Amino acid sequence: MLQNIDRFLEEARRFNASTSEEIEQFRIKYLGKKGLLSDLFKSFKEVPVEQKKEVGQKINQLKQFITEKVEELMSTISDDVAGDNSADLTLPGPPLQLGARHPISIVRNQIIEIFGRLGYTISEGPEIEDDWHVFSALNFPPEHPARDMQDTFFIEKDPDILLRTHTSSVQVRVMEKEQPPIRTISPGRVFRNEAISARAHCIFHQVEGLYIDDNVSFADLKQTLLYFAREMFGKKVEIRLRPSYFPFTEPSAEMDISCQICGGKGCNVCKYTGWLEILGCGMVDPNVLEFNHIDSKKYTGLAFGMGIERVAMLKYQVRDLRLYFENDIRFLKQFQAAY
Ligand code: DAH
């Protein structure tokens, strides 16, 4: 047996290979399940006790030698790709996976584009705001429920600092800097202390719109929003304005669009009303103009605010808001970016 081992060792020492296939055969011959080493280990049982130590050592030496030899041979050929004719260097590389735009970005860009055609500029403001810009300058009475801890994330050390709950705060930022004519939209992230569900999230996106000039009327508001709805959802869409209340607009309204799924006949998406709510709007309250040093005798304004997730849900018929935040590639790659 000792002689056999020596012979194997000698053979292995002399072995050389130029392809990975040859090395693999060599490895199988010695180290494979039915290989020579496995045979040696099997017949080890019959070795007389006094020889066991020496034979055992030799077998282990052989195993180690083969293992190292295989590694060494592999390392020489893997560097030398040209020698391994299994690699075809003329093949094209694997195709790169193309990413897709997020549906919220697609819809935001489309909203920007539609209002851009009507002459609206884009303005931005900070996400971490103060009470003045989010509430007080927008005519929220001090005890208004929207300031409640339930809805607003306040910064613990200073209750005057908070995460903006709506992009209406950017209206104030714009009025501080500019005098009419003002025509601008403000897309951005907003934050509310809400439990996450299919219909609500603590972080979401809004677009605010503001148009102040002499002679801006409710008719302008209605026509602007009708134009927007038809550009976004299709030429057949009808709109409906319902009276509502917001502290910063007077009169205020909420706008519904005719249900795209049933065409207004009534279905479970529109809860059999034929209408779906999409935004809040109104004529800028004169108090808000005055707070921000705009002459309310001379100027009037219209304003509106919509949730981008909501518009995207209606446009793409997405039933669960959480899908927008999960980054599941199977969801995200379904959206074609025209914008
Ligand atoms: N800020 C309101 C909200 O977050 C939306 C809104 C309603 C904005 C009416 C407006 C408006 O500009 O006129 O629910």
Ligand 1 centroid distance, CA of 338 (Å): 28
Q: How large is the average pLDDT for residues 183-190?
A: 98
- Total structural domains within the chain: 2
Decide if pLDDT at 109 tops 60: yes
pLDDT of residue 226: 98
Ligand 1 centroid distance, CA of 261 (Å): 26
Residue 312 inside a domain? The answer is: yes
b/e sequence 105-142, b meaning 16+ C-beta within 10 Å = bbbbbbbbebbeeeebeebebeeebbbebbbbbbbbee
- d(C-alpha 193, C-alpha 107), whole Å: 24
Decide if pLDDT at 164 tops 60: yes
Ligand 1 centroid distance, CA of 310 (Å): 14
Lookup result for tokens 């299994």? 86
Contacts by residues 316-323 (CB-CB < 8 Å, ≥ 24 positions apart): 316/103, 317/260, 317/261, 317/269, 318/103, 319/198, 320/198, 321/197, 321/198, 321/199, 321/200, 321/201, 321/204, 322/196, 322/197, 322/198, 322/201
Residues 8 and 153 in one domain: no
Residue 178 inside a domain? The answer is: yes
Decide if pLDDT at 330 tops 80: yes
Residues 70 and 116 in one domain: no
- Ligand 1 atom closest to the CA of 210, numbered from 1: 12
Cα pseudo-dihedral 16, 22, 23, 27, rounded to 10 = -110
Q: How far is CA 48 from CA 5, 53, 187, 320, in A?
A: 16, 10, 86, 75
- Ligand 1 atom closest to the CA of 284, numbered from 1: 13
Our answer on whether the CB atom of 167 is closer than 6 Å to any ligand 1 atom is: no
Our answer on whether the CB atom of 303 is closer than 6 Å to any ligand 1 atom is: yes
The CATH number for 183's domain is: 3.30.930.10
Domain residues for the domain of 198 are: 103-338
Decide if pLDDT at 178 tops 80: yes
Q: How far is CA 208 from CA 87, 176, 220, 302, 315, in A?
A: 58, 16, 16, 11, 19
Residues 151 and 44 in one domain: no
Our answer on whether the CB atom of 304 is closer than 6 Å to any ligand 1 atom is: yes
pLDDT tens profile 267-321: 887 889 999 999 999 999 999 999 999 999 999 999 999 999 999 999 998 989 8
